[in-house]
Amino acid sequence: MFDLEKNIRPNIRNLKPYQSARDEFAGLAEVALDANENPFGFGLNRYPDAGMKKLKSKFAAFRGVKADRLIFGNGSDEIIDLLIRTFCEPGNDQILIFPPTFGMYRVCANINNVGIIEKSQTAEFQIDFEQLRPSLDDPSLKLIFICSPNNPTGNTIEKETIVNIAKSFDGIVVLDEAYIDFGGASMIDESIPNLFILQTFSKALGLAGIRLGVGIGASEVIAVLNKVKPPYNINTLTQQRAVEALSKTEETKRQVASIVSERDKLSQKLSSINGIRNIYPSKANFLLVEIENAALTYTSLCEKGIIVRDRSKEIENTLRITVGSPDENARLIAALREEDHVPVGRVGKCVRSTSETQILADVNLDDPSNTFINTGIPFFDHMLEQIARHGSLGLNVISNGDLYIDPHHTIEDTALALGSAFNDALGERKGIERYGFLLPMDDSLAQVGIDFGGRPWLEWEATFRATHVGEMPTEMVSHFFKSFTDTARCNLNIKVEGDNDHHKIESIFKAFARAIKMAVRKDESGILPSTKGKL
Ligand code: PMP
């Protein structure tokens, strides 16, 4: 049997809440000299309405609930934290979650030193009530978080199961309905005293930027939370914009209908794309998509300026894709089909995936307009940018490597992928100059000779005083070039003299770039630059 008093932390039960200046005065203030405000200011010189009267009455009418059942937070995130702080004794109590689910329940519990019981979901992403039942008697369990539609799986949780859990549990069941307007059936009208519903202005109402979440619970529960909540947590601008939005609910309904119809179209289009294995049915404004190699698709989309969410840590090889505008969705589909990028020039590509690194490298020997480099090692990125800039090449390199071990695998495998991309771009190697070298001077003198003759070789004459430049180990510089020669099938002869290790390495990379530029240049003849007849 749910007993609210028993659930409240003892210090909160006895808490005398902060009384704000405006709480003490119910009438209409003509001369407000009670809150130490600046009488001039810029139009927002007064504290916000702590009671949020307009906002509460508008939202109450919008959802058809009583205003005393509502509490507002700086996003739902604040209310999740508020619930944990009000009901869970740090170091003693616990919450229960059903992963994979929204991450803030766990984060807020961790911040508050509150334990977490995890119960897995069934294969259909539902809750197994019988399996859960024994945990419901644990006296340290105070809050159960259920997300429906669930993030990231997109499905709703059966209503009967939620009712059963609430009825068999003495604590509070928090039902997060953040995505409810995109297809679920809200449980806001259920009169279950320990069911507490979370909604937000960030999704269907389109106001993620104002940070406004709503808690809907029994009025007694709301009264306790109000003791803990900071008095002015919702600022004036947020309250105004929310009230405005609640006056335009017809427009909101149209937007939601359009997102739902885009979701279904997007799902259909995604299903025709190679490598996509499954699209989970969704009642939310996102799709969970199972794909052959989620990490590589993720980085390749990033390269094209499109970000989605990789959820593979929770469900293997899955991406969570938010439903965007029709144009955004079309761009996503085009990027996945590679329709949007028909390169001009000699291009080569390498996708390299091992348990240590995932690398995507492509090079365009004739078009320097498109370069993007991100290996996670800033100095190494700087060096690869030298290759693109001084080689007049288009170069895209995205490396996702095990940097938590050290940079070795990432640098080595990037070099291998880069070499393969050059090998690919050079094709039969007909009609190229083949050789290149340069002697650039800085405080150092670097000499890089190259021969794209089809055989790997590295001659190396360089020493460094420092062990690292930035995050990059100096011993990895020769290793980078050795790996490159292996897959690009070229000879490299590199020498450097000088003082400053940063300059020495940079001048090698610049000289390397200029040598490449010379060697890959097309000659007019178009013949193979070898008497062997093959390179
Ligand atoms: N609940 C769920 C299930 C969410 O996915 C999110 C945000 N993605 C939130 C709550 C956070 O909402 P708010 O922006 O109101 O903090």
User: Ligand 1 mean position to 199 CA, how many Å?
Assistant: 8
* Tokens read off for 150: 């669930």
How many whole angstroms separate alpha carbon 301 and alpha carbon 286?
17
User: Ligand 1 mean position to 371 CA, how many Å?
Assistant: 35
Helix boundaries (H) for 103-248: 104-111, 129-132, 159-167, 219-228, 236-245
With 50 as the cut, is the pLDDT of residue 340 above it?
no
What pLDDT, on the 0 to 100 scale, is given for residue 347? 86
With 90 as the cut, is the pLDDT of residue 409 above it?
yes
What pLDDT, on the 0 to 100 scale, is given for residue 339? 41
Q: What is the pLDDT of residues 480-505, one digit of tens each?
A: 999 999 999 999 999 999 999 999 99
Residues 8, 87 contacting (CB under 8 angstroms): yes
Which residue's alpha carbon is nearest to atom 12 within ligand 1? 76
How many whole angstroms separate alpha carbon 106 and alpha carbon 230?
22
With 80 as the cut, is the pLDDT of residue 341 above it?
no
With 50 as the cut, is the pLDDT of residue 324 above it?
yes
Range scoring the smallest mean pLDDT among 171-185, 257-271, 293-307, 337-351: 337-351
Beta bridge mates, 458: 492
What's the mean pLDDT in 269-298?
94
Instruction: Supply the mean pLDDT for the chain.
Output: 93
Confidence of residue 242 (pLDDT cuts 50, 70, 90): very high
How many whole angstroms separate alpha carbon 79 and alpha carbon 68?
16
Mutate which of 71, 74, 77 for ligand 1? The one with the most ligand atoms within 8 Å of its CB, which is 77
Confidence of residue 61 (pLDDT cuts 50, 70, 90): very high
How many whole angstroms separate alpha carbon 497 and alpha carbon 185?
72
What pLDDT, on the 0 to 100 scale, is given for residue 24? 74
Range scoring the smallest mean pLDDT among 15-24, 280-289, 506-515: 15-24
- Report residues whose beta carbon is within 6 angstroms of any ligand 1 atom: 75-77, 102, 147, 151, 176, 178, 200, 202, 208, 213
370 versus 384: which is more confidently predicted? 384
Residues 285, 152 contacting (CB under 8 angstroms): no
How many whole angstroms separate alpha carbon 61 and alpha carbon 58?
5
What's the mean pLDDT in 231-239?
96
Burial status of residue 64 (CB atoms within 10 A of its CB: 0-12, 13-18, 19 or more): exposed
HEC assignment per residue over 357-408: EEEEEEEECCCCCCCEEECCCHHHHHHHHHHHHHHCCEEEEEEEECCCCCCH
pTM for the predicted model, two decimal places: 0.69
Q: Which candidate, 359, 445, 371, 361, places its Cα nearest to that of 410? A: 359
Range scoring the smallest mean pLDDT among 94-103, 168-177, 525-534: 525-534
What's the mean pLDDT in 346-351?
89
What's the mean pLDDT in 293-307?
89
Which residues are within 8 A (CB) of 240 and not within 5 positions of it... i.e. 6 or more apart? none
Q: What is the pLDDT of residues 411-465, one digit of tens each?
A: 999 999 999 999 999 998 888 888 877 766 567 789 999 999 999 999 999 999 9
Q: What are the counts of helices (DSSP H) followed by strands (DSSP E) for the chain?
A: 16, 21
With 90 as the cut, is the pLDDT of residue 194 above it?
yes
